[in-house]
Amino acid sequence: MPREPAWRVFSAEYNSSKHYIKATEPKKPSYVITPLGAKISRLFVVGVLTEVRLITDEIVKARVADQTGAFYILAGKFNPESRQILESVKVPQFLAVVGKINVFKPDEETMYLSIVPERVKVVKEVLRDYWVFDTARRLKIRIDAMREALKMDVPTVNNLLELGFSRKISEGVITAIKYYEKINVEKYMDMLKDALKHLLPEYKMLGYELPSVEEEEEEEIGGEEEELILKLIDELNKDNKGASYEDLLEKSGLDPEKLDEILISLQEKGEIYEPLLGRFKRI
């Protein structure tokens, strides 16, 4: 079964979700459907670790804040490495988390969302800023798709495909319209603007722009660079403990931010994993 992609969404969109599709078969994924049509089983989030608390003898709860609110991370006995990192990191600290959705529904009207981490890593501010920009880019495409769908008398996936949106976005938007009675698109546009406020001067200087609706939602990292890193991981894994981050940085000639981006992408695709912190091996 292919691994579910790790969505990049702001905490305000994730936490405003009210619909949950629970898996009906073992090993099948469950999904949270956001009001803008993100169909999430896994997430990749970057923010500031602002709080870590011991809930029970086995469970640690952490709060990771982005520009729109906060994600809550729950690490227990099934993710000891993530729990150890959360307990050892000093607050505040920039943190990247890849994990699965966690849903608690005490009744039909209430739903609490958190993330069960698969991987936690301390990162630099520049990676957090890139995550904000990239998450805003993806949010803008979903906003545009939802706006177009709400204009239609009978919105369909095919109609959105004809406008240039990807199938994943088109299907997600139509699903969200079925689940949510009222979708306040402008609220999410305001959220996007607020999230980008501190980045706009920097990105305007570099000439970056948010994409038009015709641009494909999933913009893949360069295949040649990924192939280079995979080749280096094979070559540098001489002691079977994995290629070290430092060696990959030196041999690839990439800057740290680009290397981090490629390593995260390869992990999300299920190509590599991190057996030890800072070391990478092929799966």
Domain 6-122 and domain 223-282 have a common topology? no
pTM (two decimals): 0.69
Q: Which fold does the domain 223-282 belong to in CATH?
A: Arc Repressor Mutant, subunit A (1.10.10)
For the stretch 96-127, pLDDT in tens is: 999 999 998 787 777 889 999 998 999 888 88
Q: Does domain 6-122 have CATH number 2.40.50.140?
A: yes
pLDDT in tens, 40-87: 999 999 998 988 988 887 888 999 989 888 999 998 888 888 888 888
Is the bond leading into 211 cis (omega within 30 degrees of zero)? no
* Structure tokens belonging to residue 85: 């990192």
Tens of pLDDT, residues 165-201:
989 999 999 999 998 988 999 999 998 988 887 676 5
User: Both tokens of residue 186?
Assistant: 């402008």
For residues 166 and 219, the answer to whether their CB atoms sit within 8 Å is: no
**Res. 272: pLDDT tops 60:** yes
Query: Where along the chain do its domains lie?
Result: 6-122, 129-206, 223-282
